[in-house]
Chain A
Amino acid sequence: MTAIFDVRNLKKTFGGLVVTNDVSLSMAPGDRVALIGPNGAGKTTFVNLVTGNILPNAGSVMLCGEDVTRLGPTQRVRRGLVRSFQVTRLFPEMTPEEHVALAILQREGRSGRMFASHRAMPDVMQEGHALLSRLGIAHLARHRVSEIAYGQQRLLELALALALKPKVLLLDEPAAGVPQSDTARIEQAIADLPSDLAVLMIEHDMDLVFRFAKRVVVLAAGEIIFDGSPDAVTKDARVRQAYLGSYADARSVA
């Protein structure tokens, strides 16, 4: 299968510090890849490089065969590269209905319309409602986001990403901060993601990683030290060293 998302030899330095070194990662439609790595491994920088918030010193990012390395974040989103945030970034004064409507309209290039509210657009309302129903938060459609529980906000975060109909989806710790009781729903939602979508999930929770991923990529000190099956990852010596080493370091610091 051809790669829909292809990162080649990405390199980023801050001052003299190399934070991303020669990272390559390729994904095909339908891939379920988990990106893991100890703290400070450069995951955040990698996400920012991929989404276009910062520009690399070398290397390229290809999306559907197009070189998007020099494009800004919004351009990449419009080409189908969508991310979710590790800490929910929603509009506290707006309702879930408005969130998804905005995303749908944005996707269709209709967000600049100045007359007629989204509620007068049956197609948008139906699609939005279907999406909220799929994630089980339709009953909250008209509550302010500031009034709904965090677990449900995480679901909405997911809904927002889906409303953009991405080709490649970056999930940044989708279950972070969610109470135990709600994680099942989020996991279910992730399991139900469209099968042709390429999903890259950054996650700490190894249980979730094993249930979700068909492939695991390990980032340590800015380099990819492992790229293979979930079964193999725990047996890999470098991975063990990276993790245990860093744990040992962490303990000595504390």
Chain B
Amino acid sequence: MQTVFSIGVDAFAYGMVLFVISIGLSVTMGLMRVVNLAHGAFAMIGGYIASYAARDLGLAYAVAVMLAIAGTILIAIPVERLLYRRIYGQSELTQVLMTIGITFCIIGIANYVFGPTLKTIPAPDALRQPISLGFRTVSAHRLFVIACGTAVALGLWYFIERTAFGVKMRAAVDNAAMAAALGVRTEVVYAVSFAVAVGLAAFGGVVGAELLPIEPYYALRYMVTFLVVVSVGGAGSIPGALAACLLLGAIDTTGRYLMPEFGEFFFYLAVIAIVWLFPRGLAGRAE
């Protein structure tokens, strides 16, 4: 029984980490309809900035997180204006080509600027303690990530479903021409949505760095994982993404505990099974 609880805790924590890192991609893919393979690259940029701020400049963790988000968005603005704007509404394959190109470039630049070694983001002492849950210990950082995930899920849900901007955003995506006719400035909506997605990517990159450490190849290494969880959840749906992350996290964790040799099989067989049962993703809407 204790083992079951223990796996449950690990699974939940892992699922939340996946969620925090991937949710930004759900925004770009589901709401902006851009297959953004460069999502990991932006997460990585966030991680590098935070690492530089916290480790080399010795700034506080919270400050480093803020800097990472702001810095990544700042870097992303010209990228959005010059490159992404050209692929909105284009075919998926074109988007794949462009965003893979961007990813390659960012990897190359990161490798050149920061070198190929791993970069850590020193967390405050409070987050480095193991915390006892009675039957086992977990690191405080995991609990922190779970809290972050919950906050992001609620905040984003509120932003998209409840604010005026969220309404405009959904309108712009569903029918850009109609939204424009109603006075919505779609290019502003897109730019803001992109900034939100990139900010989330950076945030995820930083708080998830304990599990997915920052190095130049980060952008490609985890690309598939991000793509899979978002698509399984149904791109653009926050509850869907959350459900997919928790479900896949649980399957992955359980599989790795019970039969670590076949961990990879469990994960991808589960992916196939889920998509087989829900061909549009867990929370997919009819197209």
Q: Do A and B touch (CB < 8 Å)? A: no
- Which residues from chain B sit less than 8 Å from chain A, CB to CB? none
Give me the interface of A with B, judged by CB distance under 8 Å: none
